[in-house]
Amino acid sequence: MNSIRQQLHKGMNAVALTRPTVFLKWSQRLQRLTGMLFTGILCAATAITSPAQTITSFDDPNAGTASGQGTVAVAISTAGSTTGAYIDSSNVAHGFLRTSAGKYTSFDAPGSGVQVTAGSGINNGSVITGFDIDSASVMHGFVRTKAGAITTFDAPGAGTNSGQGTEPYSINTAGTITGYYTDSTGVHHGFVRATNGTITSFEAPVAGTGNHQGTLGAVINSSGVITGVYFDAQSHYHGFVRAANGTITDFDYPSAVGTSATAINTAGTITGFYKDTNGITHGFVRTKKGVFTSFDGPNNPQQTAGWAINTAGVITGLYQDAGGGVHGFVRATNGTITTFDAPGTGTLGTLVPGGFEMGINTAGNVAGYYLDSGSVYHGFLRTP
């Protein structure tokens, strides 16, 4: 394992033995998409007062209330519906859909031996994509219609051993899906799945071909443009953008030692983060023309990262303060940053608002999750 992942694991291993499988998969998602970020994410979160915002916590009615159980929300639609997963009192993970009115629908991928079902992305038509994990710990993709019909799929070439398989991340308005799959040798490959079920794999031009190297599609916008990250032959990470015609352009923030793209909006504006030569992580915005703007959370934080961006260009993400506390933020198009912490956060604080999918919708509402003092997970919705 390369040094980037070793550093990330220093922050994650403290809770790895107590987290249910679904939360481990999102930890692995952090590892694969970011390489190294928020190594101190397990530090206490200090509350910060921020104006003119409301944060509402929520839990699926069937979610367990013991340590390591609860609700994780990772994506939000324009209509305000959220998806993710919950862990019940038997430590079984199920997908859920929560409407803006607070109505919950639980769902599970079909087939025998399914151990985990989790939503990863939701589009404006309430069509959900996500993954399930079978009894052999192999991942499979699925798409769920608004009516509740679930179709599972596997990318051609996906491995069939433990820790391998297919993981969708994002679905656009048309129902096209992107994500990645891991082959039998541990190499990652990006994919795009059309609405007719055709799956096309893709690779960044200089992506590595070794174990835990390769290409990962993160988010697809309404025009079919995809952004994500790839690991080269030296396991260094870089951002990329893939046009709808398949042309891939890689990029790095100027002078950065690592760049990760995490989201793209309709205009082709990308957000993410980069690490500078001093080891400090900063957020960035990249226009469709390739112009970068760097940004940081308040008070000289150690790490800042953009996770999601909406149509207007408003960004949500995380920053780690000088004391190690992790907080959420929303960055307006004029660069103004408003911070937030979900009420009731415990020692892990505010985790990943919206994950890597549609974490912030056109209204500026942010979906995410947090861990309370009893190590129970809860979803939250932040409204401006």
pLDDT value, residue 19 = 36
Mean pLDDT, rounded, of the chain: 85
pLDDT tens digits, one per residue of 295-332: 999 988 888 999 999 999 999 998 887 777 778 899 99
Tell the residue number behind the tokens 């992107």, with chain if given.
178
pLDDT value, residue 132 = 96
pLDDT tens digits, one per residue of 134-175: 999 999 999 999 999 999 999 999 999 999 999 999 999 999
pLDDT value, residue 327 = 83
In angstroms, the CA 162 to CA 182 distance is 10
pLDDT value, residue 352 = 41
b (16+ CB within 10 A) / e for 193-214: beeeeebebbbbeebbeeebbb
Tokens of 333: 């198009």
pLDDT band at 25 (very low <50, low <70, confident <90, very high): low
pLDDT band at 20 (very low <50, low <70, confident <90, very high): very low
Task: Please tell me which residue, 20 or 245, carries the higher pLDDT value.
Answer: 245
Q: Which domains occur in the chain, in start order? A: 8-383 (2.120.10.30)
Q: Give the single-character DSSP code of 52.
A: S
Tokens of 139: 């991942």
pLDDT value, residue 192 = 98
pLDDT tens digits, one per residue of 76-95: 999 999 999 999 999 999 99
pLDDT band at 54 (very low <50, low <70, confident <90, very high): very high
26 φ, ψ to 5°?
Answer: -70, -30
345 and 372 in contact (C-beta within 8 Å)?
yes
347 and 355 in contact (C-beta within 8 Å)?
no
User: Average pLDDT in the 281-303 region?
Assistant: 94
**Lowest mean pLDDT segment, chosen from 42-46, 142-146, 154-158, 274-278:** 42-46
pLDDT value, residue 300 = 84
pLDDT value, residue 320 = 82
Q: Cite the beta strand spans of 80-232 per DSSP E.
A: 82-87, 93-98, 104-107, 116-122, 128-133, 139-144, 150-153, 165-171, 177-182, 188-193, 199-202, 214-220, 226-231
